[in-house]
């Protein structure tokens, strides 16, 4: 039996182990925030952002950011139908209504024209999710935000290392959020980051993140309001500091793996992968193959083939509007069509060339055979 190829796992070196050990040994009492402060400082420097607040998750960062903007009952928040549930759950928790719009067929990210079409007097925010390292059209979205006065928020959970015309993903909107889950390019196991250039918004989120205790409050254990508990631990931040020192190496390896798949799959028609347009850099968090409908290749066929080859198969996100907890079923053609003919490909940092070959060969054997069969059948029917 060949070794199992996992879809992802973190890259952990002696540096991460040393920092985590130091945090466990010394990061208590007066030093309990040392690595957290360092991680926040170094991350905002890397991102080119004014403020950064480490959180327990990207979901928590989004929840506090939306709350700080005043999102609540009766409000609407526009977001891509193609998304993980973590992006929509804070909207629901705050009592607002999520408005699911379609995505572009090439980037799989939110369609700016659909955003514009769904704006109403109730629209409180627009969330731009950079999917699998792919970038939203930030020029178009920011223009809409500036013209309408509606905040544009970047869900950059999957976009560490991605760059839009010289600006890093997450640094352009009213605020941005990041995930450092164990599957991500930069990981702290669990964890996230809230970033913004707005000093007042940063201070508001900082208060919310600490049970509503304002930084300037002089009374001990006196909350000024009901807040949240979405703080990162010092040990998690220590791992994050080590990962951030290696960020260029980590992103470069992800990009190498995506490029290797593209070379191997380029001979087969009907497959598209993560795009990288002029002026952008794709951080390549999750290489993804999307098959043209004419190939006849489906998600289920690829799942079966990968399982037979002892390879993890991770499916493309289902449209949020397909979930049972939501009643609206908008006609978002791309968001509903793409998942049924797409598959995420393994991309952990220490994959060997042989591993990449095996994944690509499995995909080519199945998809290539179906394309040949479909073409043959078409010729015979003429």
pLDDT at 316: 98
Please say if the pLDDT value at position 380 is more than 60: no
Check if 14-243 and 248-380 are the same fold.
no
CB 36 within 8 A of CB 160: no
Where along the chain do its domains lie? 14-243, 248-380
Q: Is the pLDDT of residue 373 over 50?
A: no
**Active-site residue identified among 184, 229, 231, 254:** 184
Mean pLDDT value of segment 101-118: 98
pLDDT at 108: 98
Of 247, 231, 186, 245, the residue nearest 19 (C-alpha): 245
Per the CB < 8 A criterion, the answer to whether 58 and 169 are in contact is no
Fold that domain 14-243 belongs to in CATH: 3.40.640
Residues 282-331 pLDDT 10s: 999 999 999 999 999 999 999 999 999 999 989 999 999 999 999 989 99
Residues written for the chain:
382
At 216 the pLDDT is: 87
What's the pLDDT tens digit per position in 212-242? Answer: 999 988 999 999 999 999 999 999 999 999 9
pLDDT for the residue 1: 55
**Straight-line distance from the first to the last Cα atom of the chain, in angstroms, rounded to the nearest whole number:** 44
What is the per-residue pLDDT for 382? 36
- Find out whether 27 and 235 touch, Cβ atoms under 8 Å: yes
Which residues is 227 bridged to in the sheet?
none
Percent of the chain topping pLDDT 90: 92
Q: pLDDT tens digits for 154-208? A: 999 999 999 999 999 999 999 999 999 999 999 999 999 999 999 999 999 999 9
Stretch 30-55: mean pLDDT:
98
Establish whether 219 is a catalytic residue. no
| Cα gap 93→95, rounded to integer Å | 5
**Band (369; pLDDT cuts 50, 70, 90):** low
Please say if the pLDDT value at position 114 is more than 50. Answer: yes
Q: Is 25 exposed, middle or buried (0-12, 13-18, 19+ CB in 10 A)?
A: exposed
According to CATH, the topology of domain 248-380 is 3.90.1150
What pairing do the DSSP bridges indicate for beta strands 175-179 and 192-196? antiparallel
Q: Are 180 and 191 contacting, i.e. CB atoms less than 8 angstroms apart?
A: yes
The span from the CA of 64 to the CA of 54, in Å, is 12
């Amino acid at each position: 039996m060949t070794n199992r190829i996992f879809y992802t796992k973190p890259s952990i070196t002696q540096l991460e182990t040393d920092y985590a050990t130091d945090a466990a040994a010394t990061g208590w009492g007066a030093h309990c925030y040392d690595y957290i402060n360092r991680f926040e400082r170094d991350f905002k420097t890397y991102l080119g952002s004014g403020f950064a607040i480490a959180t327990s998750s990207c979901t928590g960062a989004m929840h506090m950011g939306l709350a700080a903007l005043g999102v609540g009952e009766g409000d609407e928040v526009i977001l891509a139908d193609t998304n993980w549930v973590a992006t929509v759950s804070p909207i629901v928790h705050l009592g607002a209504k999520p408005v699911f719009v379609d995505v572009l067929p090439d980037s799989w990210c939110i369609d700016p024209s659909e955003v514009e079409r769904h704006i109403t007097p109730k629209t409180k925010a627009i969330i731009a999710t950079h999917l699998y390292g792919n970038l939203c059209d930030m020029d178009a979205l920011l223009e809409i935000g500036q013209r309408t006065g509606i905040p544009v928020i970047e869900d950059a959970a999957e976009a560490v290392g991605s760059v839009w015309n010289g600006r890093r993903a997450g640094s352009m909107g009213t605020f941005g959020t990041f995930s450092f889950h164990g599957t991500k390019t930069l990981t702290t196991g669990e964890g996230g980051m809230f970033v913004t250039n707005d000093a007042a918004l940063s201070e508001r989120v900082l208060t919310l993140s600490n049970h509503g205790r304002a930084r300037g409050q002089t009374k001990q254990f006196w909350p000024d309001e009901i807040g949240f508990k979405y703080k990162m631990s010092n040990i998690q931040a220590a791992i994050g500091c080590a990962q951030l020192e290696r960020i260029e190496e980590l992103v470069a390896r992800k990009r190498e793996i995506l490029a290797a798949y593209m070379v191997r799959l380029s001979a087969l028609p009907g497959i598209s992968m993560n795009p990288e347009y002029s002026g952008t850099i794709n951080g390549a968090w999750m290489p993804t193959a999307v098959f043209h409908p004419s190939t006849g290749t489906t998600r289920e066929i690829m799942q079966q083939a990968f399982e037979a080859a002892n390879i993890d198969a991770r499916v493309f996100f289902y449209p949020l509007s397909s979930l049972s907890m939501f009643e609206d079923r908008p006609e978002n053609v791309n968001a509903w069509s793409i998942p049924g003919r797409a598959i995420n490909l393994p991309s952990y940092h220490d994959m060997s060339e042989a591993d990449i070959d095996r994944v690509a060969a499995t995909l080519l054997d199945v998809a290539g055979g179906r394309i040949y069969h479909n073409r043959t059948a078409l010729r015979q029917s003429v």
